[in-house]
Amino acid sequence: MTSARKSFLIRSAVILGAIALVPASTSAVTESESETYKQLDLFMDVFQRVRASYVEKVDDASLIKGAIEGMLSSLDPHSSYLDARDFTNLRTQTEGNYGGLGLTVTLDEGVVKVIAPTDDTPAAKAGIKAGDYITHIDGKLIYGSSLDEAVDKMRGAPGTSIKLTIARQGRDEPLELTLTRAIIDIKPVKWQVKGDVGVIKIVSFSADTGNDVRSAIRSIEKSLGHKPIGYVLDLRSNPGGLLDEAVTVSDAFLDKGEIVSQRGRSASDNRPYYARPGDDAQGLPVVVLIDAGSASASEIVAGALQDQHRALVMGERSFGKGSVQTLLPLSQDTALRLTTARYYTPSGRSVQEGGIEPDILVPQISDPDYAKRPRYRESDLRRHLINEAKLDRSELEADTNTDPAFAATPEELEKAGIDDFQLHYALKTLDRLGPAIQTAAAKKQTASRK
């Protein structure tokens, strides 16, 4: 064994947590450690062969980075290595200001797949949908490219154009879309008033999302001049974000009780999160809208409000990402994004694979592609974590609903001025139920004073 290889094995053993570092020839090496040394020796053999014999010269740093990325990608779809560029990109996304199209994407069998377009961005305005596949960028096939390469091509100077070829299941021909890049200055929370209902749209769970939701609640009441009859919390096509912000948003509608708990490999990784006293919405009725693009932090909020019987959840079954990723710094500009725990709703259920099932299934029938377009979720990703409850996949897509309102066609809805059927249905529900719930709450408060 060369001294370089021996040094490499010793350093690797330290990383892997070997207790005793001794030569392989002594009896003090356990069988497990011996097997680890053999595997590391095999790795060094492959590394040296590639270095010496690959058709083109490859630098050592690229080979080692590729080995690290391969190791992490073999675990689950969400663990990854962040080099200096990736670290900068992650920080940029969290801060919510960059030049591009406004897409959250992943790599599926070598093809770039859309998880969700961000609201009010070039991608959303062009009609790109969750589950679409991007096959070409500016006419060039990107199959087999890395996700970083595809993202780099889609980002660019604001005002520049880009052509995307989109494959959408249910359509015979690909879509050719020309988009103009823009500054993606993501405002995580938007609000509006529809009649006597406050509508709060959460685009992403980035810094200060929770405070922005509380501010939106106050602004809605100020705009109306009185309390609304209820709130619609729109989490559709929201891919998630920061766990702490999901907790803060949930807390804005809760007065007490557990919001979410995370459970990891060891007891020290287990942690529950609880609501603090004070419901910013003052007990008013809440409808939460979700769809197949609602993931992670969105599912934490929907699950918490559903389990606490604080909100009625409407829409479609959510994405089903029930894992927690922790950023583990390796240096000043590199880190591991590693799956370290699963999260559970207050009732103890994991949303991994299965997602959040809405209390009322409401299809988006104003979307002309709704019936044809399949839904892609966490369970469709390679190497996804398996739900400990061993879900029956055949039951996950067996949602049916015979409400006659769902028989309307997109053309009929357009004539009626309804361009978002799910939101329309939520508003009508609050119009019918809100006053009755308010009256019941008022009677309960009056009775408690006597």
pLDDT in tens, 109-167: 788 988 778 878 899 899 998 888 999 999 999 887 778 788 888 988 889 999 999 99
The answer to whether 183 touches 158, Cβ cutoff 8 Å, is yes
Indicate whether 378 pLDDT > 80: no
Q: What pLDDT sits at residue 444?
A: 46
pLDDT at 352: 82
Rounded to the nearest 10°, the torsion over CA 214, 217, 219, 222 is -130
* pLDDT given for residue 215 in this prediction: 97
Residue 399 confidence (pLDDT) above 80: no
Same fold, 97-185 and 189-443: no
**pLDDT of the residue at 216:** 97
The CATH code of domain 97-185 reads: 2.30.42.10
Alpha-carbon span 150 to 284, nearest angstrom? 45
213 vs 288: CA distance, rounded Å: 14
pTM: predicted TM-score of the whole model, two decimal places: 0.72
Tell me the angle at which helices 147-154 and 84-95 cross, rounded to the nearest 10 degrees.
50
Which are the catalytic amino acids?
296, 307, 321
What is the domain partition of the chain in residue ranges?
3-58, 97-185, 189-443
Give residue 317's pLDDT: 92
395 has pLDDT over 70: no
pLDDT per residue over 20-68, tens digit each?
Answer: 334 444 455 677 788 888 888 899 999 999 999 999 998 998 898 889 8
What is the predicted pLDDT for the residue at 10?
A: 45
- Per-residue pLDDT at 342 exceeds 50: yes
Q: Is the pLDDT of residue 218 over 80?
A: yes
**Averaged pLDDT for residues 207-220:** 95
pLDDT-based confidence at 401, cuts 50/70/90? low
The better pLDDT of the pair 86, 173 is held by 173
Residue-by-residue DSSP string for 3-72:
HHHHHHHHHHHHHHT-S----TTSTTS-HHHHHHHHHHHHHHHHHHHHHHHSSS---HHHHHHHHHHHHH
pLDDT score of 402: 52
CATH topology for 189-443 is 2-enoyl-CoA Hydratase; Chain A, domain 1 (3.90.226)
**β-strands 189-194, 161-167 pairing:** unpaired
Other residues' Cβ atoms within 10 Å of the Cβ of residue 101: 27
What percent of the chain has pLDDT above 90? 40
Q: Quick one: pLDDT at residue 77?
A: 82
